[in-house]
Amino acid sequence: MTLNVGVIGTGMIGQDHIRRLTQVLPGARVAAVADIDLDRAKAAADNVPGSRVHQSGLDLVGDESIDAVVVCSWGPAHPEPVLACIEAGKPVFCEKPLATTEEDCDQIVDAEVAVGRRLVTVGFMRRYDAGYQAMKQALSRGEIGAPLIMHSAHRNASVPASVTSEMIVLDTGVHDIDIARWLLDAEVAATAVLKPRRGSRAADDLQDPLILLLEMSSGVLVDIEVLVNSGYGYDIRGEIVGETGTVELAETAAVVIKRDGGFGGRVPADWRERFVRAYDAELQQWIDAASAGTATGPSSWDGYAATAVTNAGVQALHGGARVEVSLRPQPDLYRAAGGTGGKG
């Protein structure tokens, strides 16, 4: 069976996922697209023979020929189509963040719990990255003993002038929050934000870099450096310090070049290059699950928990103090082990 997929939001990652669904991965075809920028939707559809353009995301979800939906619009626009998919019983892959407010995430969790089966997968692609998976295996095999501290660095080469300090937490730091929860198998109990000296590439008023501190429920402390105008490339770093050793992400360059008395390798340009295999794996697993009418991987609960932390982080960014994170009780639906995204 070929899964008929509709894609909502045909910007940067929407186009990248359309390419992946159309040219790279078996089992699915892009049958329809929608974007509030109709010209952009039409341009995307032009590259996919046989695909239709819908006037809105809701029209696309309501199209009976669409089996499953990929949501790649801006964060605040995610809840509407995700809730419509749940109501229609259609599996939905939603790019991160699931929603930008805890209230919207709550509503999605409630709707999915009411249906009684998983339909939502959130695009926390780091969980599918070979490096992070090897870190998790090292931890679960006890190779470094109990984890004590995690260091994470998330550096973008540059961002558009429209990016705000809040978005650095909500949209960028959210990846590090999710991967910390997943690797350490614990929730975040409290967060604080430190504000280093601002880099000269940062636009006026942008707190770049910033450091998010997480206190995990297990007592592990996590420091997350987010720098969105590194200038030199897209650099993702991670290390966990345990009682008997450490585990650290390796450099991703396939080769090291030595010449003129020095050595070096390539730094990825952006997330599309750094996580290309992780995105392939996450969407392939999503296609396989959606074809069976269900969902695996990072869940609505994971989306909710991450957003609860980013919302506390934004409060800490403005208020300067440590902010406690209090989560609702976890519904049973999300307790079972769920493959790459499972927390159980």
| Binding site residues, ligand ISE, CB under 6 A | 156, 171-172, 175, 271
The minimum distance between CB 48 and ligand NAD, in angstroms, equals 16
Q: The tokens of 333 are what? A: 């639906």
Give yes or no for a contact between 323 and 191, defined as CB atoms under 8 angstroms apart: yes
Nearer to ligand NAD, 139 or 155 (CB): 155
**Of residues 37, 39, 248, 324, which one binds ligand NAD by CB under 6 A?**
37
User: Binding partner of residue 90 among ligand NAD, ligand ISE, none, CB under 5 to 8 Å per kind?
Assistant: none
The minimum distance between CB 244 and ligand NAD, in angstroms, equals 33
Alpha-carbon span 310 to 241, nearest angstrom: 24
User: Binding partner of residue 172 among ligand ISE, ligand NAD, none, CB under 5 to 8 Å per kind?
Assistant: ligand ISE
Residues 71-110, mask of contacts with ligand NAD (x by CB under 6 A): -xxxx-x-----------------xx--------------
Q: The tokens of 239 are what? A: 């290390």
Interacting span for ligand NAD (CB under 6 A) from 31-39, 151-159, 202-210, 301-309: 31-39
Alpha-carbon span 35 to 7, nearest angstrom: 9
Q: Helix axis angle, 174-184 relative to 130-140, nearest 10°?
A: 30
User: Binding partner of residue 77 among ligand NAD, ligand ISE, none, CB under 5 to 8 Å per kind?
Assistant: ligand NAD
Count the Cβ atoms, other than its own, within 10 Å of residue 260: 5
123 binds ligand NAD (CB under 6 A): yes
Computed on alpha carbons and rounded to an integer, the radius of gyration of the chain in Å comes to 20
**Residue 88: what residue type?**
A
Maximum distance among all Cα pairs of the chain, rounded to whole angstroms? 64
Alpha-carbon span 228 to 155, nearest angstrom: 5
311 binds ligand NAD (CB under 6 A): no
11 binds ligand NAD (CB under 6 A): yes
Give yes or no for a contact between 310 and 106, defined as CB atoms under 8 angstroms apart: no
Q: Site residues (CB under 6 A) for ligand NAD?
A: 8-14, 34-37, 40, 57, 72-75, 77, 95-96, 123, 125, 171, 271
